[in-house]
Structure 1
Amino acid sequence: MEELIKQAVRNLNISYIFFWVLPAFLFGAGEFELFPVGCLADNAQAVYYFETIGILLTALCVPLSLKLFSSVLKKKIDHLTITLALKRYVQWSIVRLGMLEVAVVVNLLCYYLTVSSTGHLCMLIGLTASVFCLPSEERLRNELHIAKDEKL
């Protein structure tokens, strides 16, 4: 049982690290101008569309990723056996991070392509929301109602 929990936490930590690697890579690529920075800055219509998509995506993904996970946890995962609950918990945690990743990457690209601070702000909102998804063994045990000495 303890080994399954440690493996689940390890998988969650790896996915969380990968969540931060892609934006960091894109940020570095943008700062070193490895892709065309500001190529759409003169096109007001493109700036408007990119900003609107970025804002709507952030407004949709951030609350959905945080609230949806909590409701799925209560309605579906709590009623499963512990081994299946651990698998589903890891899967839904990865889905939650994936939703935030989409919002962060789109807004980061919006920031560099349009040189608009709106994309940068929405990216920071997505990254800040990911702090609420920080995995730990204690959090996993609390959310799945697993006592420290409970056996399989």
Structure 2
Amino acid sequence: MNKLIEKTLKSLKIEFLTVWILTILLIILNETDILPVGIIADNPRMDFILQTIGILLVFTFIPLSLRLFNQSLIKRIKLLSTEKAIISYRRWSEIRLSLLFVAAILNLSFYYLTMNTTGLFCGLMALLSTFFCIPTRKRMLKELDIIKNEEE
């Protein structure tokens, strides 16, 4: 079981770092003008549509990713055997991180397309929310109630 926990943590840490690396790569590509910047800045209708989509994504995905994980943890994961719980924990952690990643990447893309700071702020909110998803051994053991089982 210890090997499964370590393997899961290693995978989750790699996925977490990948989210940040891809986001930083997007920013670097836009800041160095490799990707187009401001091509929709002169179209107010498209600007409004993209900013509305971005805001709705952030205000939907952030609470959903954090609350959905908590609900699935309470209702389902804790009822499973330890090995299945760890596998399910990994899957739900990946879903949560993916939702935040999509919101961040799209909003940052919208920012660079429209040069409207709303996309920047929404993208940063989604990225900062990923700090609630940092995978650590202590957190995983606590959330799965494995600490109690190991003490007994």
TM bucket normalised to smaller: over 0.9
- 1:116 equivalent to 2:108? Answer no
Report percent identity of matched pairs: 40
Question: Can you give the 5+ residue segments of structure 1 that lack an aligned partner in the other structure?
Answer: none
1: CA distance between counterparts of 2:94 and 2:107?
A: 20
| Aligned twin of 2:95 | 95
Q: What is the root-mean-square deviation in Å for CA atoms of aligned residues? A: 1.3
1:48 and 1:18 map into 2 onto residues whose CA distance is: 30
What TM-score comes out, normalization by structure 1 length?
Answer: 0.96
Distance of 1:51 and 1:125 partners within structure 2: 14
CA distance in 1, matches of 2:38, 2:147: 53
What CA deviation, in whole Å up to 9, does each residue of 1:49-89 have, x standing for no partner?
01000000000000000000000000010000000100010
Counterpart in the other structure of 2:131: 131
Alpha-carbon distance, 1:3 to partner = 1.3
1:10-64 CA-partner distances (Å, limit 9, x unpaired): 1110110111111111000010011110000000001000100000000000000
Q: 1:73 to 1:149 in 2, by over 3 A?
A: closer
Letter in 1 for 2:42: D
Deviation at 1:8, TM superposition (A): 1.1
Letter in structure 2 aligned against 1:86: I
Separation in 2, partners of 1:128, 1:28: 18
SS of structure 2 residue aligned to 1:36: coil
Alignment partners' CA distance in 2, 1:11 and 1:84: 16
Aligned length: 151
Q: Distance in 2 between matches of 1:94 and 1:100?
A: 10
Find the residue that maps to 1:147 and give its secondary structure.
helix
Q: Does 1:63 align with 2:60?
A: no
Unaligned runs of 5+ in 2: none
Q: What secondary structure is seen at the aligned counterpart in 2 of 1:135?
A: coil
